[in-house]
A and B are shown apart, each in its own frame.
Chain A
Amino acid sequence: MMAPRRLLLAAPGLLLLPRGAAATPEAMAEAVHGFTGGAEMRPGRVAIDISPLVENGNTVPLSVIVDSPMTEQDHVRAIAVFNERNPQPHVVAVRLGLRSGRAILATHIRLATSQTLLAVAELSDGSFWSDRAQVIVTLAACVEG
């Protein structure tokens, strides 16, 4: 059994990007590696629910659902969400368990620009599954100073 990890602290260096820099696909890959330990990630079982067209990137509803019976034999231990174009690659990481009932998380996120989101789920058998979503982000017309 893996010891509980402070998931975001797995890659502290990525939080120290210079001002104005954006995360890159490489930075996201590094962040994902911190979560999976390099294990293979298979697409499937995970579903990102987010609008493909977002009218304001400041508050974007996001849900992630993992297809899982959440039983002793087969449940989701953790879900992590990553992004490609925000200043840093993490969005949120949650730890679930047998008392969760369903493998679901819902929150509101910030998106700096149009980009790809990646959700990764860690299952009780040690496997990792994922889903990607492309989001187009438009901004408010009159941005207040």
Chain B
Amino acid sequence: MRPAPALLLLAPLCLSAAAQERRSGFQDMARETQALQQDDTANPGMLWVLEGEALWNRPAVPGGQSCAGCHGNAEATMRGAAARYPAWDAASGAPIDLAGRIMQCREARQAAPPLPRESADLLALSAYVAHQSRGAPISPPEDPRLSAAREQGRALYAERRGQLDLSCAQCHDDNAGRRLAGSTIPQGHPTGYPLYRLEWQSLGSLQRRLRGCMTGVRAEPYAYGAPEYVAIELYLAQRAAGMAVETPAVRP
């Protein structure tokens, strides 16, 4: 069912990403920041993973269902799950990211009030679930229903935007590995989300990071939960196919 990573590397990818060897942002960080990510007793992202574990086992509403009530032990049932997102959601007839799926489950199947995007509980649950895929290769589903959105994501990635009139590709494909104001420009693979960003001093989602980039080029960011983010993430996941999940990563 899951496509072999080798086949995905042969699939048409952005030329630059395929031409240069793919590097996770982990490899572009200082040694000390790498050490922080690799130490589960010091990685601040693990605080959210722990919180997520508690939320997983607690009923979403008093007397209601917990995640564990349906999904059992996450270490077994969620293994590799996050690596296969974004996925197609039949209920809404659109692609859905992991956080969106968790939000949907809470409302539709646990009769719980909605978890807002970027809320502490949603980040914690996303971190806990994605953590169960740590080490697994990013494995975008081959579902043809995702193709249109993935193509939209590819176009968004290549589109110039903002007052600085820059596209994602211009930094993260054409200039990856070079320096921007003292920092190394990473290739921009979503290998460790949600992640603890030192700049945020908090755990945050890929959408938060994309919004930060859009603000950085002086473009109006899409609202949290916008389908554009899921489309971009679909494209990024294919671009990063086969790379290992690192959640919860640490990044500067």
Contact = CB atoms under 8 A, between A and B. Distances in A.
Direct contact of A and B (CB under 8 A): yes
Q: Is the interface of A mostly helix, strand, loop or mixed?
A: loop
A139 B198 CA distance: 10
Interface stretch (B30-38, B98-106, B111-119, B139-147): B30-38
Interface in A115-145: 138-145
Given A51-B32, A141-B180, A56 B215 contact: no
B216 A59 contact: no
B181 interface: yes
B182 interface: yes
B201 A141 contact: no
Interface string B20-31: 000000000111
Nearest to A140: B199
Contact of B201 (A51, A53, A54, A59): A59
Interface string A26-55: 000000000000000000000000010111
B212 interface: yes
A72 B18 CA distance: 63
A143 B30 contact: no
Interface residues of B, number: 22
B30 A54 contact: yes
A82 to B, nearest CB: 21
B212 A142 contact: yes
Nearest to B201: A58
Interface residues on A, range: 10 to 19
A53 B30 CA distance: 9
A145 B198 contact: no
Contacts of A141: 180-183, 216
B181 A144 contact: no
B199 A138 contact: no
A108 B199 CA distance: 14
Nearest to A58: B198
A141 B44 CA distance: 22
Given A51-B30, A51-B32, A56 B212 contact: no
A58 B199 CA distance: 6
Interface string B183-200: 100000000000000111
A101 interface: no
B252 interface: yes
B244 to A, nearest CB: 22
A145 to B, nearest CB: 6
Contact of B215 (A53, A60, A138, A144): A144
A89 B145 CA distance: 58
A138 B179 CA distance: 12
A108 to B, nearest CB: 8
23 contacts: A51-B30, A51-B31, A53-B30, A54-B30, A55-B33, A55-B183, A58-B198, A58-B201, A59-B36, A59-B44, A59-B201, A108-B42, A138-B181, A138-B183, A139-B181, A140-B198, A140-B252, A141-B181, A141-B183, A141-B216, A142-B215, A142-B216, A144-B215
Interface of A: 51, 53-56, 58-61, 108, 138-145
